[in-house]
């Protein structure tokens, strides 16, 4: 049955556990800026907090990638998931916003350790020419969690507060970590510990350009899908907490359309699809930020979500083309850490922009960064690319 729909064992387990983790996290996570504000943090402190969260989510990815190549993908996927649960339990039990942020920073560090191995295992659990298809399955799991989680959170807010939802998230993380430990197997494409001396040669000009692209996208996403989503909705559009969750859910639903765009990367090439996605995301994000009400901002918000998903899948397909199984996790770890360190400054940059031009300015800057990434993707040439501007269709 799984083979009929394009899922093998690894992809099935990854999809199920991703959905469980994302669903419970996004019952409350889109409201985190407001929770921190209620615990006494001001807007500048919230910006610093989200910068810390963003940097933590990528800072040790370089270590996680190296370990995943040396010790296996499965170990570096399952154990950090399992260890994340206790941190959320502490976050749920405290009334100090600094402790809450510290615990989520710890969770994001564990997430950074697992992300290179996770991406590599997804790539290696699919045929060479179907990487975008594989990521379309995992991204569907993410989006279903992003859609249904905020809906469940909005429905439960009358009975349960954010700390209670954090506690539920912790229990699910522990369960999903056990499921990954029991169910996942390392890919036959990758020999544990092989190819590590080749890492320096693997950081070629393609990877360096990819890091520039990733920094632009990471900073842009950290602004619009970070604290300023909720802050814009509350301060400029005057939405309630439940309405903010519903807006997030609607945007995530629109992202399902972006999956269809992203899957075209297997046919058209990741670079062409990325250009389309980045252009659509950049323009619509600017329109979203300058909209005075949610009624006028909803359509560009939905379009931005859709194109962001398309460009993300295209980036993953492109990443598979510029890496090899021997050093893939290590290279992804370097990419993730470098782009995260730069892109993680997005929330603090956004806080400074608000002081200059109000709530719309961070969104204008985020859209501009999306458009800037188009220029950085032009020089990339994949190993299977035909001469000329675009990648060979079907690669």
pLDDT of residue 68: 87
The span from the CA of 159 to the CA of 152, in Å, is: 11
Q: For the chain (length 395 residues), average pLDDT per consecutive 10?
A: 61 94 92 90 85 83 87 90 95 95 95 90 80 88 88 87 94 96 76 53 81 92 87 90 87 90 88 95 96 94 95 90 80 86 82 87 94 92 44 28
Enter the tokens of residue 306. 């859709």
Taking Cα atoms as reference points, which of 376, 392, 108, 363 lies closest to residue 268? 392
pLDDT of residue 7: 63
pLDDT of residue 188: 57
Options 2.40.10.170, 3.40.50.2300, 3.40.1210.10, 1.20.1250.20; CATH for 9-377 is: 1.20.1250.20
pLDDT of residue 174: 96
- Output the 3-class SS for the chain: CCCCCCCCHHHHHHHHHHHHHHHHHCCCHHHHHHHHHHCCCCHHHHHHHHHHHHHHHHHCHHHHHHHHHHHCHHHHHHHHHHHHHHHHHHHHHCCCHHHHHHHHHHHHHHHHHHHHHHHHHHHHCCCHHHHHHHHHHHHHHHHHHHHHHHHHHHHHCCCCCHHHHHHHHHHHHHHHHHHHHHHCCCCCCCCCCCCHHHHHHHCCHHHHHHHHHHHHHHHHHHHHCCHHHHHHHHHHCCCCHHHHHHHHHHHHHHHHHHHHHHHCHHHHCHHHHHHHHHHHHHHHHHHHHHCCCHHHHHHHHHHHHHHHHHHHHHHHHHHHHCCCCCCHHHHHHHHHHHHHHHHCCHHHHHHHHHHHHCCHHHHHHHHHHHHHHHHHHCCCCCCCCCCCCCCCCCC
pTM score: 0.76
């Amino acid at each position: 049955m799984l083979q009929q729909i394009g899922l093998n064992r690894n992809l099935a387990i990854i999809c199920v556990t991703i959905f469980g983790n994302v669903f419970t996290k996004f019952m409350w996570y889109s409201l985190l800026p407001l929770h921190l504000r209620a615990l006494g943090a001001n807007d500048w402190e919230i910006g610093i907090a989200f910068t810390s969260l963003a940097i933590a989510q990528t800072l040790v990815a370089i270590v996680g990638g190296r370990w995943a190549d040396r010790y296996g993908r499965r170990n570096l996927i399952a154990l950090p998931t399992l260890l994340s649960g206790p941190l959320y339990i502490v976050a749920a039990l405290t009334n100090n916003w600094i402790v809450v942020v510290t615990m989520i920073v710890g969770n994001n560090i564990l997430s950074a350790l697992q992300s290179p191995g996770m991406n590599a295992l997804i790539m290696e659990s699919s045929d060479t020419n179907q990487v975008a298809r594989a990521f379309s399955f995992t991204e569907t799991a993410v989006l279903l969690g992003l859609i249904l989680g905020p809906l469940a959170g909005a429905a439960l807010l009358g009975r349960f507060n954010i700390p209670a939802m954090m506690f539920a998230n912790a229990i699910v993380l522990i369960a999903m970590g056990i499921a990954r430990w029991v169910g996942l197997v390392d890919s036959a494409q990758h020999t544990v510990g092989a190819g590590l001396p080749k890492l320096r040669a693997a950081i070629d000009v393609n990877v360096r350009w990819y890091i520039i692209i990733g920094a632009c996208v990471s900073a842009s996403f950290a602004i619009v899908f970070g604290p300023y989503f909720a802050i814009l909705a509350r301060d400029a559009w005057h939405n309630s907490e439940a309405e903010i969750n519903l807006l997030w859910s609607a945007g995530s639903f629109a992202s399902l359309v972006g999956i269809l765009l992203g899957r075209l990367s297997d046919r058209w090439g990741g670079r062409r699809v990325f250009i389309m996605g980045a252009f659509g995301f950049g323009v619509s994000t600017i329109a979203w930020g300058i909209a005075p009400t949610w009624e006028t901002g909803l359509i560009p918000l939905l379009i931005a979500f859709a194109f962001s998903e398309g460009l993300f899948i295209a980036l993953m397909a492109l990443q598979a083309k510029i890496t090899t199984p021997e050093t893939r996790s290590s290279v992804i770890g370097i990419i993730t850490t470098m782009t995260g360190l730069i892109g993680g400054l997005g929330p603090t940059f956004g806080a400074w922009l608000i002081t200059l031009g109000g709530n719309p300015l961070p969104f204008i800057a985020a859209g501009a960064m999306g458009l800037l990434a188009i220029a950085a993707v032009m020089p990339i040439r994949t190993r299977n690319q035909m001469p000329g501007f675009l990648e060979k269709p079907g690669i």
